[in-house]
Structure 1
Amino acid sequence: MSGERGGLGLVLRVPRPGWLWRGAAAALLALGAVLGAWRWAGWRAAGRRRRLQRIGTVLRLFVYPVKSCRGVPVGLAQVTAMGLRSGELRDRFWLVTKEDGHMVTARQEPRLVLISVSCEDGQLALEAPEMKRLCVPVKLPRKNPVRNCRVFGMDIQGRDCGDEVAQWITTFLNSEPYRLVHFEPSMLPRKSKDIINLFRTTDEVAYPDCSPVLIVSEASLDDLNTRLEKKVKIENFRPNILVTDCSAFEEDTWEEIVIGNVKMKGTVCCARCILTTVNPDTGVMDRKEPLETLKSYRLCDPSERHIYKSSPLFGRYFAVDKTGTIRVGDPVYKWVPVDQ
């Protein structure tokens, strides 16, 4: 009998030695498993740990309310999922079209870049050389028809802004009849992924080419101008954000960046077209520079030719991960691993 009788007549059981060893071994194994899991979790966390590294400063901000018209410099902008916003001016939420709905840009009508846009008291104001200033309500009457439009071969809607502004644009451009349409929040946006497959299914735009935000660095512009006889301006390239305090074309490598309380993800570089050759001050298309010079040293790697084809690269497109507010003077950060 493996026990001992106590003074109260109780039998006190003494565990067999084998039980002790097996219990101790099980406890040690359990402790080892816990410690192992803790260390593994620690290694995984260390692998994910990152810090913010400053890479530049916001020098200028631009909103382009009407696609291909002059940009509006702003000191502060809200960054929405579909691009920059300043008050009621939203980036490329208005579009000039032919009567059949096909978009019209400065590629076809270079003088569009001479039309200035502003907003006050709920009115979109248009101004151009030798034209009387014209105002259009931002919130259009429901009686104005919704038109089916085509932007780079994709369908999208826009509410017609009326005959008066249509005649104003047609007169200034001395063109066939054109219309102005406005994208409204209830309308279905275009999917960036349907334009370039490297975007995510959640990335959407109204009338921009493909992306909510375009960033260019001042150093990239300076580098280009060292190679040109006739210097060009940042307005030739129509970015939303111009960044300083970084090296030329460094923006090509930015993957995840933070400005103010806004988080953005780099997607693809901006493949440049003939629109860059339109002089933003005269509305005259050169058709050669700065595009030819860019082609001499800014073509993509052959492995990426299926994305960019023969277009030179200048600037980088970004999608918006976290909306918020940015200001001129804000530092620009990128995420890097803790050991960098």
Structure 2
Amino acid sequence: MSGARGAAALSLRAARPLWLWGAAVAAVLGALLGAWRWAGGRSRAGKRRGRLQRVGTVLSLSVYPVKSCRGVAVRKAEVTPMGLRSGELRDRFWLVTKEDGHMVTARQEPRLVLISVSSENGHMILEAPDMKPLSVPVKLPRKNPVRNCRVFGVDIQGRDCGDEVAQWITAFLNSEPYRLVHFEPSMLPRKSKDMINLFRTTDEVAYPDCSPVLIISEASLEDLNTRLEKKVKIENFRPNILVTDCSAFEEDTWEEIFIGNVELRGTVCCGRCILTTVNPDTGVMDRKEPLETLKSYRLCDPSEKHLYKSSPLFGRYFAVDKTGTIQVGDPVYRMVQQ
């Protein structure tokens, strides 16, 4: 018996390196297959070829259902042509307006950033300090009127979400009467090109400033905070995708990137405004920082003043070339031309 056991043990020891070798080969083949799929897919699509270079990792994902209200952190998101989606919540598909349809953001009402958003059973739930939670159906009754709205000077429609939520928002902000509207897929979106000419005619948004996706790197925020007496959070800047494992402002150089099965194309940097000075925890507008510090070292090249004027740059806008799904932890690749 002892001889048989010894022979079996020897057999296992001899087999173990083969097993490890087989696993290593499988891992290498898997990586090569992934690279082949990226390159082959692009070749079949008739696009220019290049090599992929890993430039970072997705650290966090955020959807901002109501423009200027708090974002919703998610582990996974669908990337649609008009921005991120998580379940029934789509990025900036709801908008606070004046009764005449003009948009209202935290630039005018800083306390909007204190309104939290979630979803449950076909409803969007709004919560705010000293207010009872309010439930708003995602699919609104057809009897609710469609309103004509203005977002950065461009016309767009939205279906009115009703008197109850209008009164709730007005009471919380202690303001003139405001309404809440929802963009529906059957409505005509705004053309990004109408805001910034460098976008393509196919790039469209609902209520975002101009672009479906905004990306910032963790290193850029850390660089800024080394220059500030009072540190700021990433919530001051409201990106959809926060990337780690890259250098500060490296995102400015990304022209064509891949995350999960999604392809994104860099368009322009994000010119920053007074909204960045709103404290996301208190809803108080500072009006100076971090904007003044950004202006000291993040102004555009003089040749681009027609685009950004005097706004400092922080983060980069991306258009969607290929839809799909992304999640926290996904590697970020850029295409390097050969």
Residue in 1 that maps onto 2:223: 223
Task: Determine whether 1:111 maps to 2:111.
Answer: yes
State the alpha-carbon separation in 1 of the partners of residues 229 and 160 from structure 2. Answer: 43
Residue in 2 that maps onto 1:26: none
In the TM superposition, structure 1's runs of 4+ consecutive aligned residues that sit over 4 Å from their partners are none
- 1:335 is paired with a residue whose SS is strand
Residue in 1 that maps onto 2:324: 324
Question: How do residues 254-293 of structure 1 correspond to structure 2 at under 5 angstroms?
Answer: 254-293=254-293
State the alpha-carbon separation in 2 of the partners of residues 280 and 88 from structure 1. Answer: 24
State the alpha-carbon separation in 2 of the partners of residues 202 and 217 from structure 1. Answer: 26
Give the letter aligned to residue 250 of structure 2: E
- 1:286 is paired with a residue whose SS is coil
Q: Let me know the Cα RMSD of the aligned residues.
A: 0.8
Cα displacement string for residues 5-26 of structure 1 (whole angstroms, at most 9, x for unaligned residues): xxxxxxxxxxxxxxxxxxxxxx
- 2:171 is paired with a residue whose SS is helix
State the alpha-carbon separation in 2 of the partners of residues 157 and 70 from structure 1. Answer: 23
Residue in 2 that maps onto 1:200: 200
Cα displacement string for residues 32-63 of structure 1 (whole angstroms, at most 9, x for unaligned residues): xxxxxxxxxxxxxxx94311100000000000
Task: Determine whether 1:90 maps to 2:87.
Answer: no
State the alpha-carbon separation in 1 of the partners of residues 99 and 125 from structure 2. Answer: 22
- 1:119 is paired with a residue whose SS is strand
Give the letter aligned to residue 169 of structure 1: I
Aligned-pair distance for 1:315? 0.2
Question: What is the total number of aligned residue pairs between the two structures?
Answer: 292
Give the letter aligned to residue 143 of structure 1: K
Residue in 2 that maps onto 1:236: 236
Aligned-pair distance for 1:112? 0.0
Residues 249/142 of structure 1: CA separation in 2 closer, same or farther (3 Å cut): same
State the alpha-carbon separation in 2 of the partners of residues 177 and 48 from structure 1. Answer: 53
Give the letter aligned to residue 326 of structure 2: I
State the alpha-carbon separation in 2 of the partners of residues 150 and 183 from structure 1. Answer: 13
Task: Determine whether 1:67 maps to 2:67.
Answer: yes
Structure 1 portions without partners, runs of 5+: 1-46
Task: Normalising by structure 2, report the TM-score.
Answer: 0.86
Question: How do residues 14-163 of structure 1 correspond to structure 2 at under 5 angstroms?
Answer: 48-163=48-163
State the alpha-carbon separation in 2 of the partners of residues 48 and 159 from structure 1. Answer: 42
Residue in 2 that maps onto 1:13: none
Task: Normalising by structure 1, report the TM-score.
Answer: 0.85
Cα displacement string for residues 135-162 of structure 1 (whole angstroms, at most 9, x for unaligned residues): 0100000000000000001100000000
State the alpha-carbon separation in 1 of the partners of residues 293 and 303 from structure 2. Answer: 22
Q: Bigger radius of gyration, 1 or 2? A: 1
State the alpha-carbon separation in 1 of the partners of residues 219 and 316 from structure 2. Answer: 14
Residue in 2 that maps onto 1:301: 301
State the alpha-carbon separation in 1 of the partners of residues 73 and 48 from structure 2. Answer: 38
Residue in 1 that maps onto 2:188: 188
State the alpha-carbon separation in 2 of the partners of residues 160 and 119 from structure 1. Answer: 18
Task: Determine whether 1:315 maps to 2:315.
Answer: yes
Cα displacement string for residues 251-291 of structure 1 (whole angstroms, at most 9, x for unaligned residues): 00000000000000000000000000000000000000000
State the alpha-carbon separation in 2 of the partners of residues 102 and 170 from structure 1. Answer: 15
Residues 165/257 of structure 1: CA separation in 2 closer, same or farther (3 Å cut): same
State the alpha-carbon separation in 2 of the partners of residues 48 and 199 from structure 1. Answer: 20
